Amino acid sequence: MKLAESLLKSPGTPMFNIEQIRSDFPILKLKINGKPLVYFDNAASSQMPQSVIDRMIRYQTTQHANINRAVHYLSETATEEYEKSRNKLKCFINASEDREVIFTSGTTEAINLVAHGYGRKFISSGDEIILTTLEHHSNIVPWQMLAEEKGARIRVVPINNAGELLIDEYEQLFNKHTKFVGITHVSNALGTINPIKQMIEFAHARNVPVLVDGAQAAPHMKIDVQDLDCDFYAFSGHKLCGPTGIGILYGKAFLLEHMQPFKGGGDMIASVTFEKTTYNTIPHKFEAGTPPIAAAIGFGAAIDYLSEIDMSVIEAHEHDLIDYATEKISLIPGLRIIGDATKKVAVLSFAIDKIHPHDIGTLLNQEGIAVRTGHHCAQPVMRHFKVPATTRASFSFYNSMSEIDALISAIQKVQKIFS
């Protein structure tokens, strides 16, 4: 792999060769409207390196078959490769066992799995579920649906004007009715990193389980679920240089064993009669039907790629990117950064006086710059800051300082058009 050549070691620390890294991503060679692509929509979906693309093609051309279904060569090979990917994910987040890793279609399905599999079984009328203002809709709507069905109540942790959770108020929400906590590790709209370890410890001291939405954290930092001691952790492959349609739910084994299945069908059963079905063991109990095998294997290849770079190296480079971008963009008159938390990942949301975010995004696209505009499926955050939408530039480790310079120049061009 080309990447190996870029990781020349100097006193124990891998050197980060941005040009070598960028050469691993074929899509970064594209031109948009005659301009080099500057891809700053990584919080929505990151790009795939050639090694991931090649691995999926190899599966499709030499290993493709259904898994757990037959004893022939292709089925056994596909099953083995699928389970290898599960093991890679287990190691990536430091889970205790492979069976604690459930493949899902993404973070959204993982959260819904917990809402149905745990929530519908263990949450009752009068119980309370704690969420936060920073949640993506995917960690709000499933709990609202459950609360409406069960007669439970949603309670919400507020934020300050920096976009940080008010932890004192979080702690005050707990009472004898509190039965579950769902919190995002990192805000997709603002980049705020929440103190989830502290929050988990507080909840566990009161025997309350915690689900962490890690969709925006896993791409940017090392995740250790045993150190966090979270009960559930969810994230998606397409934000980690992998394909769409694949993600995982980590769950502590004893909790998964006591949960009911989310979906019924093939492979999640041990035996079936018309009188009774006996469910399979975990993780298979939660993986009904034919899974996205190629996507799971591609996800494993993405984990290989990221692990070879080292997440600590990725985190350091992205920290430099957000610091540089914040410093430069803060100097632009009429521009306001939305959310300036002390601890952030490489996400920059902003608004510009008298220019709608959609207009900003359209004009930046003419310069070859891809950003996200809108409410980012985080409307409670937008309401807090009294804006209908923001422009969000979200960076990845394959982005460069010169691309940030291009963004700054393009924003200034947009302002001139509207002046």
The DSSP line for 139-160 is GTHHHHHHHHHHT-EEEEE-B-
Q: Render each residue's pLDDT in the chain as its tens digit; 419 residues.
A: 334 334 433 334 456 799 999 999 999 999 999 999 999 999 999 999 999 999 999 999 999 999 987 899 999 999 999 999 999 999 999 999 999 999 999 999 999 999 999 999 999 999 999 999 999 999 999 999 999 999 999 999 999 999 999 999 999 999 999 999 999 999 999 999 999 999 999 999 999 999 999 999 999 999 999 999 999 999 999 999 999 999 999 999 999 999 999 898 888 888 888 999 889 899 999 999 999 999 999 999 999 999 999 999 999 999 999 999 999 999 999 999 999 999 999 999 999 999 999 999 999 999 999 999 999 999 999 999 999 999 999 999 999 999 999 999 999 999 999 98
3-state SS string for 376-398: CCCHHHHHHHCCCCEEEEECCCC
Report d(CA 29, CA 22) in Å as an integer. Answer: 9
- Cis status, amide bond into 283, omega within 30 of 0: yes
| Burial of 34 from C-beta contacts in 10 A (0-12 / 13-18 / 19+) | exposed
Instruction: Quote the distance between the C-alpha of residue 186 and its chain's center.
Output: 9
| Burial of 366 from C-beta contacts in 10 A (0-12 / 13-18 / 19+) | middle
| Residue partners of 245: CB distance under 8 A and separation at least 6 | 105, 106, 237, 238, 292, 295
Kindly report each contact of residues 166-172 with a partner whose C-beta sits within 8 Å and lies 24 or more positions away, as own/partner. 167/195, 167/198, 167/199, 170/130, 170/132, 170/199, 170/202, 171/202
Domains of the chain: 2-48+310-418 (3.90.1150.10), 54-307 (3.40.640.10)
Q: Compute the C-alpha angle 329/330/335, nearest 5°.
A: 80
Please, what is the angle between helix 293-309 and helix 311-329, to 10°? 80
Residue-level pLDDT at 69: 78
Report d(CA 126, CA 132) in Å as an integer. Answer: 19
Check residue 192 and report its DSSP letter.
Answer: B
Coil, helix or strand for 287?
A: coil
| Residue partners of 351: CB distance under 8 A and separation at least 6 | 335, 336, 338, 357, 387, 390, 391
Q: How far is CA 407 from CA 46, 360, 401, in A?
A: 18, 11, 10
Residue-level pLDDT at 14: 53
- HSE on the CB side for 2, CA within 13 Å? 14
Report d(CA 90, CA 92) in Å as an integer. Answer: 6
For residues 304 and 81, the answer to whether their CB atoms sit within 8 Å is no
What is 90-129 written as a DSSP string? HHHHT-S-GGGEEEESSHHHHHHHHIIIIIHHH--TT-EE
pTM for this structure?
0.94
For residues 270 and 246, the answer to whether their CB atoms sit within 8 Å is no
230 catalytic? Reply is no
Residue-level pLDDT at 6: 41
Residue-level pLDDT at 419: 84
* Backbone phi, psi, residue 374, to 5°: 130, -160
Coil, helix or strand for 50?
A: helix
Check residue 194 and report its DSSP letter.
Answer: P
- HSE on the CB side for 192, CA within 13 Å? 27
Report d(CA 78, CA 63) in Å as an integer. Answer: 6
